[in-house]
Structure 1
Amino acid sequence: MTESSPPPGIRASLNEAGELVLTAVNAPPEAVIRIDVNADSPRMLCTQGRYLAPVQAPPGARIRFRLFRGKRGITAPETFIMPGPPPARAVPSTLIPCTQDRDFMIYDWASRHEAACRIVRETHPDLLFIGDSITHFWGGAPVDEPHRDILQKSPETWNLCTAGMRAVNLGFGYDRVENALWRLRHGELDGAEDNAVCVVLLGTNNLAENTDGEILEGIRAVCREITGKLAKAVIILQGFYPRNSAREGTAERIAGINLLLNRLAAEENFIYTEPGRVMANSDGYVPEELSSDGLHPSAAGYARIAAVLAPVIRQAAEREK
Structure 2
Amino acid sequence: MSKPLAVIPTERFEDWWQQRHQQKLLERQALGNKLDIVFIGDSITHAWEDEGKPAWQQYFGPQKSLNLGFAEDRTEHLLWRIQNGEIDELCPKMLVLLIGTNNAGHRLDSPEDIAAGIKVILDELKKRLLTTTIVLMAIFPRSRNTQKPMRKRVNLANQLIKQYADTKQAVWLDINQHFLTEDEVLLESVMPDLLHLNSAQYWVWAEQIKLLQQNMP
TM-score, normalising length: structure 1: 0.61
2:145 matched to 1:248?
Answer: no
Larger strand share, 1 or 2: 1
> Partners of 1:275 and 1:228 in 2: how far apart?
26
Q: Is contact 1:160–1:306 with CA below 8 Å preserved after alignment?
A: no
TM-superposition CA deviations, 1:245-268 (whole Å, max 9, x none): 598333233222222222111167
> Partners of 1:108 and 1:137 in 2: how far apart?
15
Residue 287 of structure 1: how far off its partner (Å) = 2.0
> Partners of 2:121 and 2:178 in 1: how far apart?
26
Match of 1:117 in 2: 25
Instruction: State the identity as a percent.
Output: 27
AA partner of residue 140 (structure 2): Y
Q: Is contact 2:119–2:161 with CA below 8 Å preserved after alignment?
A: no
Residue 192 of structure 1: how far off its partner (Å) = 1.7
Match of 1:272 in 2: 172
TM-superposition CA deviations, 1:27-73 (whole Å, max 9, x none): xxxxxxxxxxxxxxxxxxxxxxxxxxxxxxxxxxxxxxxxxxxxxxx
Q: Choose which of 67, 73, 95 in structure 2 pairs with 1:169.
A: 67
Question: Which has the larger Rg?
Answer: 1
Match of 1:233 in 2: 132
> Partners of 1:179 and 1:288 in 2: how far apart?
28
The structure, 1 or 2, with the larger RCO (C-alpha pairs under 8 Å, 6+ apart) is 2
Q: Provide structure 1 residue ranges, at least 5 long, that are not aligned to the other structure.
A: 1-88, 140-151
Match of 1:180 in 2: 78
AA partner of residue 127 (structure 1): I
Identify which range, 288-297 or 260-269, moves more after superposition: 260-269
Match of 1:70 in 2: none
Alignment of 1:6-155 (within 5 A): 89-100=1-12, 108-124=16-32, 125-139=35-49, 152-155=50-53
Q: What SS does the corresponding residue of 1:137 show, helix, strand or coil?
A: helix
Larger helix share, 1 or 2: 2
Residue 163 of structure 1: how far off its partner (Å) = 5.4
AA partner of residue 311 (structure 1): L
Residue 214 of structure 1: how far off its partner (Å) = 1.5
Match of 1:142 in 2: none
Q: What SS does the corresponding residue of 1:266 show, helix, strand or coil?
A: coil
Identify which range, 153-162 or 201-210, moves more after superposition: 153-162
Q: Provide structure 2 residue ranges, at least 5 long, that are not aligned to the other structure.
A: none
Runs of 4+ in 1 over 6 A off after TM superposition: none
> Partners of 2:149 and 2:6 in 1: how far apart?
22
Identify which range, 113-122 or 225-234, moves more after superposition: 225-234
> How many corresponding residue pairs?
212
2:207 matched to 1:307?
Answer: yes
> Partners of 1:92 and 1:100 in 2: how far apart?
17
- Cα–Cα, structure 1 residues 115 and 191, in superposed 2: closer, same or farther, change >3 Å? farther
Q: What SS does the corresponding residue of 2:48 show, helix, strand or coil?
A: coil
